[in-house]
Structure 1
Amino acid sequence: MSAEEMPCIPYEVAKKLVGAVMEEEHLHESNRRVLTVYGTNDQEICWFDAEDIFAEMAESEGGIPKNEDEMKAKAVELVLHQIPKWAVEDLLVKMGLERK
């Protein structure tokens, strides 16, 4: 299944579930960065390849912002639109947004 076909949660739901998106070093590959998504409970939800997100930003309207704070905010916005449903199914059930 491609990323385009993978069911993602709605943006508004992602905003409620996600506590932070942190840029980190990949655990097994040096010189590779990932954007790790943490829930409001501080548990890791999923991660995205930072290069993929930055490439998507470059292709989007407006491109990559020059200001670092704006760049981080835009990366987080992109990530929040792409949280896979499988990664948060248990959290959705706990919040009463979905039945198991």
Structure 2
Amino acid sequence: MSAEDMQCIPYEVAKKLVGAVMEEEHLQETNRRVLTVYGTNDQELCWFDAEDIFAEMAATEGGVPKNDDDMKAKAVELILHQIPKWAVEDLLIKMGLDKK
């Protein structure tokens, strides 16, 4: 599925479903970082390539923040706008936000 075909959930819904975004080492590739998205139930939902997110941040107005806390907050905000629907379908059904 291409990025253009991927459906993302609304930002407001993502804020309810996402419990944490953690920067972690890629399991199979050394020197590669991923941003793993966890639900409020601590279940892994999906992950994003950290370099891709930071590059996207750099291309936006204001660029990448110099402060680590600001950078993490901006990365999480960006990710919350890009949570794929397929990653949270079960949670959406449980919340009554999507019908099968």
Q: Answer yes or no: is 1:51 the counterpart of 2:44.
A: no
> In the alignment, which residue of structure 1 is the partner of 2:73?
73
State the shift of 1:5 in Å.
2.7
State the shift of 1:67 in Å.
0.6
Q: How many residues align?
A: 100
Q: Tell me which amino acid in the other structure corresponds to 1:78.
A: L
> In the alignment, which residue of structure 2 is the partner of 1:34?
34
Unaligned 5+ runs, structure 1: none
TM-score relative to the length of structure 1: 0.98
State the shift of 1:30 in Å.
0.5
Q: Tell me which amino acid in the other structure corresponds to 2:60.
A: S
State the shift of 1:3 in Å.
1.4
Map Cα deviations across residues 47-98 of structure 1 (whole Å, 9 max, x no partner).
Answer: 0000000000000010000111000000000000000000000000000101
Alpha-carbon distance in 2 for matches of 1:4, 1:78:
17
Q: Tell me which amino acid in the other structure corresponds to 2:37.
A: V
Moved over 3 A (4+): none
Unaligned 5+ runs, structure 2: none
State the shift of 1:2 in Å.
2.2
Tell me the SS of whatever aligns to 1:47: strand
RMSD: 0.7
Tell me the SS of whatever aligns to 2:65: coil
TM-score relative to the length of structure 2: 0.98
Q: Tell me which amino acid in the other structure corresponds to 1:13.
A: V
